[in-house]
Amino acid sequence: MLKVSNISFQYTPKKEILTDISFTLGEGQHLCVMGESGSGKSTLLKAVYGLLDLKKGSIYWKNEEVLGPAFHLVPGVSFFKYVAQDFDLMPFTSVAENIGKFLSRFYPEEKEQRTNELLEVIEMSSFANEKVKTLSGGQQQRVAIARALAKEPELILLDEPFGQIDNFKKNSLRRKLFSYLKEKNISCIVATHDGDDALSFADQMMVIKNKKVIALDSPRNLYKNPSEHYVAALFDDVNELFVDAKKRLIYPHQIQVSKDSSHKAVVKKSFFKGSFWLIEATFNSQTIFFQSAKNIVSGKEIDLCFVD
């Protein structure tokens, strides 16, 4: 189990990046860390991996303390793997050679089998013999993930792992990667901007704001009961409205057009989203967004109802 206890970190005496961060993560569990750019997500991953010397606090994996560069000639924990946004691949060798870099050459059959298994996970079997320098950024990102998994770490740390991957590949890769991690009982911490990474695949979700943890719960609970606008906005557009004299955080799908209601709105714009239209409207002098099965013309007055 990973235990992070009240850690704080600063790059300079006047600039603290993390403040009193605490959480635990069980073996095989997945944690999604979310927050705006600059909130400290990447710094947290580096601290857990052992790349930073903490200002205070401690990090333990099972009974072993994770210590920073001041205690190790080569920083980092051998049984963890960290995939940064800088992939650090070998550009002039093949995809397969990059993945198998740290696997033993004394067992060539096992090495080949392991490499092929991971090529399937990242959906790049047909690129096995391609030089890395010829790949796109998204393809290199997938190779970096596969290489990190080659020796089956106990914990993998992924910093924006799908940031450069095309949408049509992203969903399939998510399913394969996180299913593989569960199958192998590999713990995982993902720093991301994408709420889909949390909702579909994480056991826990942590939200960081202003260097501190402001929410830590299951993604389902945080989605259904966000503590503040900042948390809800990580998942979707969110309306912060006063309805019946009560302040509410309401997602677009929780607002519906009604035949008769005291809640009146005027449509401003409509945006086609494929399976629905996202409607921008004015309600009580506020701009709101809601979903509709049909397009609604600009300027039309409509009745709205609010659902849970």
Q: How confident is the model at residue 78 (pLDDT cuts 50, 70, 90)?
A: confident
Q: For the residues 40-68, what does the mean pLDDT come to?
A: 94
Q: Residue 196: is its pLDDT beyond 90?
A: no
Q: At 189, is the pLDDT very low, low, confident or very high (cuts 50, 70, 90)?
A: very high
With CA atoms as reference, report the closest residue to 2 among 23, 21, 30.
23
Short-list 122, 78, 124, 120, CA closest to 102: 78
Is 244 a residue whose pLDDT tops 90? no
Residue 44 has pLDDT above 90, yes or no: yes
pLDDT at 27: 95
Q: In CATH, which superfamily holds the domain spanning 2-228?
A: P-loop containing nucleotide triphosphate hydrolases (3.40.50.300)
On the question of pLDDT at 249 being above 80, the answer is yes
In this predicted structure, what is the pLDDT of residue 12? 84
Question: What are the structure tokens assigned to 246, written together?
Answer: 């009560």
Average pLDDT, the chain: 92
pLDDT of residue 85: 83
* pLDDT for the residue numbered 266: 97
Q: Stretch 40-46: mean pLDDT, rounded?
A: 94
Q: Could you give the residue range(s) of every CATH 3.40.50.300 domain in the chain?
A: 2-228
pTM value?
0.90
Compute the distance between CA of residue 8 and CA of residue 214 in angstroms, rounded to an integer.
Answer: 15
Tell me, what's the pLDDT at 86? 81
* Residue type for position 88: D
Using the predicted structure, report yes or no on whether residue 296 has a pLDDT greater than 80. Answer: yes
pLDDT of residue 105: 76
Mean pLDDT value across residues 12-25: 91
Q: What is the mean pLDDT of residues 257-284?
A: 94
The whole-number average pLDDT for the span 66-88 is 88
Beta strands 64-65 and 56-61 are: antiparallel
First to last CA, the chain: 36
Least confident of 8-17, 25-34, 59-68, 218-227: 8-17
DSSP β-bridge partners for residue 212:
209
DSSP the chain: -EEEEEEEEEEETTEEEEEEEEEEE-TT-EEEEE-STTSSHHHHHHHHHT-S--SEEEEEETTEE---TTT-SS-S-TTEEEE-SS----TTSBHHHHHTTTS-TT-HHHHHHHHHHHHHHTT-GGGTTSBGGGS-HHHHHHHHHHHHHTT--SEEEEESTTTTS-HHHHHHHHHHHHHHHHHTT-EEEEEES-HHHHHHH-SEEEEEETTEEEEEE-HHHHHHS-SSHHHHHTTS--EEEEETTEEEEE-GGGEEEESS-SEEEEEEEEEE-SSSEEEEEEETTEEEEEEESS---TT-EEEEEE--
Q: For residue 129, which phi and psi values (nearest 5 degrees)?
A: -100, 5
Domain with CATH 2.40.50.140 in the chain: 236-306
If one compares 34 and 169, the residue with the highest pLDDT of the two is 34
When pLDDT is cut at 50, 70 and 90, the band that residue 170 belongs to is confident
**Gap between the Cα atoms of 301 and 36, Å rounded:** 36
- Please state the rounded mean pLDDT for residues 5-19: 90
At 164 the pLDDT is: 82
Looking at domain 236-306, its CATH class is mainly beta
Higher pLDDT, 162 or 302: 302
Mean pLDDT, residues 151-167: 90
Q: Could you tell me what percent of the chain has a pLDDT over 90?
A: 70
pLDDT the model gives residue 240: 92
Percent of the chain with pLDDT over 70: 100
CA 123 to chain centre: 20
Decide if pLDDT at 120 tops 90.
Answer: yes
